[in-house]
Amino acid sequence: MMKMIAFLSGELSNAAKYFSSFANVSSDNVNNVKGTFGNDQSSTWQPWSYDSRKKVAKCVETFKKKVQKQNLVESSKRSKITSFISSQKSRQEYEPLIGKLVDRIHVDPLHLKNNACALAHRHLLNEVLLLSQLSHSVHAFSQVPNNSPFSTYIKTMRNKCHLSRLANKVVKWFDESKRVSNNFDYRFTGKDSRCFLQNFMFLINAMRPFLKDGTSTCFKFHVLAYVCLLLRDCVSAFTRIHITNEQIDELEEKCRDYFILNCKFLTPHPTAWTLGIIVPAHTRDMKLKYDLGLGLNAMEGREAKHISICRYSKNTNYKRRWEQIFLHEHVSLIWLRERGYNRENPIRSCNLRYIPKRTTDNPDLFCYCGLEKEGLAGLGCVFCSDPLRLVIKEKVQKAACG
């Protein structure tokens, strides 16, 4: 989705320094926890305007003509062009293909949600591997001891979190990479994100027997528990089609806390910046313009339509492919339903929920985070009621206000 936005905006598809299509944030100031986003010059980050895009595009076009006259290989020419674009404090290469409509682009909740969940899981997996302290002689998951944190993590993922596909990918990565060649990289689907957000506390709680109080590792898992909780609440809010101004205010606060946690205790990341800074602003803008939430802009459920189109194309002739695809689609979605076929129980992405039902149906038994309560009724789980949670919250508030 981001590459499509970059293409329509005339930007570099992959810019290392100025990574966002929504604002002039760079790798130099991505970790500014006091930064603000807005159209005024006093803001730390401003959205790219159509006029500034056109201005940079013209400069790039002029520079390209000079580079083409130089006796250099194509890779060197390309490197010079991208460096020039970066020196202009921009990521713009061409004029936007969609013209002034580029000023109306908004972030897509689906892919941002999936990327944020993948980022949170990557942090969690790295901590689990560090906690496991596996010997260098272990080259495959089959050699990992059953009582190891890593083995427990995979079992919990399969048995309690409904993330068997993700667990298999982690095992395959572990077998192939030997844990040193590269970091785990997996593209989360909407289903993966939903299962992760509903059950992440089971993964964290499974590591509790291996944690020692007062250690940095123990503190890191408490940070991750709070990060995932904030992420879940943010996703639950910004994926809505209908949202109130009060909910937007709450979303803005939680997004900011999520961003600060990532900057202070984890690693500054473009996904964390986009969720922490852009999401509240775009949600408020959507509410102001259309009286609807950012969920209106979501691709949730639409990718399934692409799969259907691919399936329709298998029964078409090459010369009349699109005509026959639209005919098949009309028959499936309209003609058959008008005659009473397949009208009941439509799949609606707006009915998806990220806060587990057990927390609302049995609040006396389950904490808001999704973990079973321990001790007296009314108190939270062992993580939410731990004094470290208050310490983490105080550090976040101090960073936001200080």
pLDDT at residue number 233: 96
Cβ burial of 339 (10 Å; 0-12, 13-18, 19+) is exposed
Q: What is the pLDDT of residues 154-184, one digit of tens each?
A: 999 999 999 999 999 999 999 987 655 568 8
Q: pLDDT tens for residues 41-73?
A: 899 999 999 999 999 999 999 999 999 988 889
* Res. 14: pLDDT tops 90: no
Tell me the CA distances in angstroms from 149 to 132, 146, 209, one per residue in order.
5, 8, 9
The predicted-structure confidence for 25-40, as pLDDT tens digits, reads as follows: 999 999 999 999 998 9
Measured in residues, the chain has a length of 402
d(Cα 385, Cα 402) in Å, to the nearest integer? Answer: 26
Q: What pTM, to 2 d.p., does this model score?
A: 0.86
Identify the three-state secondary structure at position 372. Answer: strand
User: CB pairs under 8 A, 24+ apart, for 318-326?
Assistant: none
- The closest of 162, 202, 197 to 381, measured between CA atoms, is 202
Q: Could you report the per-residue pLDDT of 135-153, keeping only the tens digit for each? A: 888 889 999 999 999 999 9
Delimit the domains of the chain by residue range: 2-27+45-104, 109-296, 302-346
